[in-house]
Every structure is written in C-alpha cells, then in structure tokens.
A and B are shown apart, each in its own frame.
Chain A
C-alpha cells in the first residue's frame, strides 16, 4: 500500500495580475477515490494543478499532504517526490525515440519497472523506436501515460489526460486511474470531458 492518505487544501486562492481565478477553495482528495476537477476553459484547472504540484505559489491558503502513519507536510518541496504529473505539454524530446524518452524518465525517477512492458501496455510496441517527432498527438500522450505508470508516484496530478486520445486510449486512462486508486493512490484529474468513473467532483469557476 502507498504511504499517503489524503491531500487537504484549505482556503486556497490564486490571483494572477488583477484577476481572481479562485479563492476560498477548500477540498480534500482521498486515497482510493479520484477527484475530478471540472470547469470551463480559463476557470483555473491548470493553475490549480500547477499550484498543487508546487510549481506555482498560491496567493493564499495551505496544501497539506497527509500520510498513513499520521505525519504530514505542507511544504511544496517535500510534496514533490510523491507527485506524478501529466501536463498539457508532452515533455518529449522530438529527436529521441519513444523508448529513449521513456528510458530517460525511468532513470531520472529511479523507476525499476520494465520499459518494454510499459511500452507494450501503452500500445506503443510498434512505434517504440521511432523518433518522437513522428508520433501522433495521441501516441505522444500514451508515452506520457507509460511514464506515469512506470514512475509509480502515489499522488497523480493529471491535466486533461484524455485529450487527443482515441476510445481505446481513453479506456486505458480510465482503467489506469481506477487501478491506481484501488491500490491506495490519489488521483486529481482536470478534465472537461468527465471521467467514466466513480469520482469526487470539484467545480471551478462558479464563484
């Protein structure tokens, strides 16, 4: 079982320039149940995920990661090592092959898993040795999914993981989130398509 139990967000606010994206945002994401963040374009889904990941400081509020052993941390730097992140950019080097890209992240994250198995799981076995620039948008997304699975971080922050994927790809994402949560992981997913899963909902942009 994974070491984390929940992520608590209290009174979070993000003000960029003069614009208030959200304020007084409080919610908890529990291990075992995915949290879906919904909202229109520009409602602040990506900003919220980047704040949770620690890339961006919130204007106000606290984010606390709670552990199973009763401990916890509110420090963004200490949260980093638990986070598996998929952003709206693919983070692939177009000159390197899919396998080389994945091997790099596996080594960077000291992941022990089987590279070929991860590629096959993502349906990339046939294109694994093609430079990433020849992959389609959906295939690039699948490399990101394989990386997320291989790196095995307990807290997933996924920004539009369904974008650009075909039906089989969307099913793959849904299944992988379900499996991750069943194994005691936390998944926070920003999407405007909706996940075909039992998940907690958070709507942004109503305030």
Chain B
C-alpha cells in the first residue's frame, strides 16, 4: 500500500468514526435544504426556481463544517510533523487530504441531492444538472477549503475565520453550479457547466501546492 493511499484511507476512516465530520455534514445538508421549503411554503413553481441556489448554498456550508479540522487535528496531535518527515511530499499529502474530504462530504452530498430535488418539486429534466453540477463542483469546495484550512492553521478557533476566508473564493462554483441547474430548468443551455468544470479543475490542481506552501511554516510549532 502506498503512502498516499495510507493517508487517504486513514482520513476517510477518521471521518466516519466517532467525532468525524462525514455524517454531520450530510445531516446538516439535508436539514438545511429541507428547512427552506417549510419557510417558503408550498409554491411549487417558486421552489423549483430556487432549488439550485439553495441546494448549492447548503452544500457549501455543509462542506465547510468539517474543513477547519482538515489540518488542525494533525497539527495539534503532532501527526503533521510525522507526515512532513514521511516519503510523501507535503503537496501529495495535501492532495490526499483534499480527496478524503471530498469523498466523505462532497460525494455523499451529491448522492443524496436527488432526494432534496423531490422536496423542491424539481422537474425530471433538471435532475441530471443538479447531480452533475454537484459532482463537478464540490471538489473545488474541498480544494479551496483546504487552502483556507492551511492558512488558519495556527489560529485558535480558526473555524470561525475559515468561512469568511473560503466562501468568497468558492462563489464561482456556487454561481456556475446554480446557473447550470436553472438553465436546465428552463430548457436552455448556457456555458455554466463548462465554466464549472474549468473552475473545479484549476482549483483541484493548484490547491495542493498552495496548501503545502502554507502548511510548511506552521511546522515550526
């Protein structure tokens, strides 16, 4: 088993153990997206119209819940020192952690999203756009979130600063993701999917390097 897979596997395992963030993020996503129809009332036309934006906003906030622990936990218990001395470059370690975060939050959110589509009376034609936009866009949230998590590493209660730092940076994903859904709703095609792909791709490629760069000075401890 390679070092990369070892770190990926450990982080996935931790996310599903007691105190891990995977189930919490999923529950938060479902509860938040389910609350809004209750507030708006049974106007199916309006609900279908806001579905994309609401589901995407809920996904963003849910993914942020566990992000502040992405490096913090390893930093506090000294594991980060040992990861830094391992044969795995810090860039690859960052990528493993981003991948583990996505597999335990972004992917489960994507899988349950059709269920939420039902709550909003989404027409069948919009479901592929809903699922596909989350599938493509949520890796960008994990990747950009990792940059934020590494920058707030030495900050006590960094979990409070993290959303302020990360949310503005991931707005393109929200705009393109929700845009793709509303385009599908109206039977149109706009460039939102292409832009979402591009944004996500660049975020996932670049983030591990920035993250590693920001983590390194914090080893000084």
Contacts and interface: CB of A to CB of B under 8 A. Distances in A.
B5 interface: yes
A95 B17 contact: yes
B14 A95 contact: yes
Contacts of B14: 93, 95-96
A50 B220 CA distance: 7
A53 interface: yes
Interface string A50-90: 10010111000000000000000000000011011101111
Contacts of B77: 89-93
B82 interface: yes
Contact of A108 (B7, B13, B18, B19): B7
Contacts of A93: 10, 14, 73, 77, 79
B168 interface: no
Contacts, number: 80
A81 to B, nearest CB: 6
Interface residues of B, number: 30
Contacts of A100: 10, 13
B221 A55 contact: yes
A1 interface: no
A109 B87 contact: yes
Contacts of A57: 220
A35 B83 CA distance: 25
Contacts of B19: 95
Interface residues of A, number: 27
A110 B81 contact: no
B119 interface: no
A16 B221 CA distance: 12
A168 interface: no
A105 B220 contact: no
A104 B100 CA distance: 15
Given A50-B221, A55-B219, A96 B82 contact: no
A104 B83 CA distance: 11
B114 interface: no
B220 A109 contact: no
Contact of A109 (B13, B17, B18, B86): B86
A107 B87 CA distance: 10
Contact of B78 (A56, A87, A104): A87
A56 B17 contact: no
Contacts of B73: 93
Interface string B4-22: 0111011001100111100
B82 A91 contact: yes
Interface of A: 50, 53, 55-57, 80-81, 83-85, 87-93, 95-96, 100, 104-105, 107-110, 147
Given A95-B19, A104-B7, 7 more contacts: A81-B87, A87-B81, A95-B14, A95-B18, A104-B10, A107-B6, A109-B86
Interface of B: 1-3, 5-7, 9-10, 13-14, 17-20, 73, 76-79, 81-88, 219-221
6 contacts: A53-B81, A53-B85, A89-B77, A107-B2, A109-B86, A110-B87
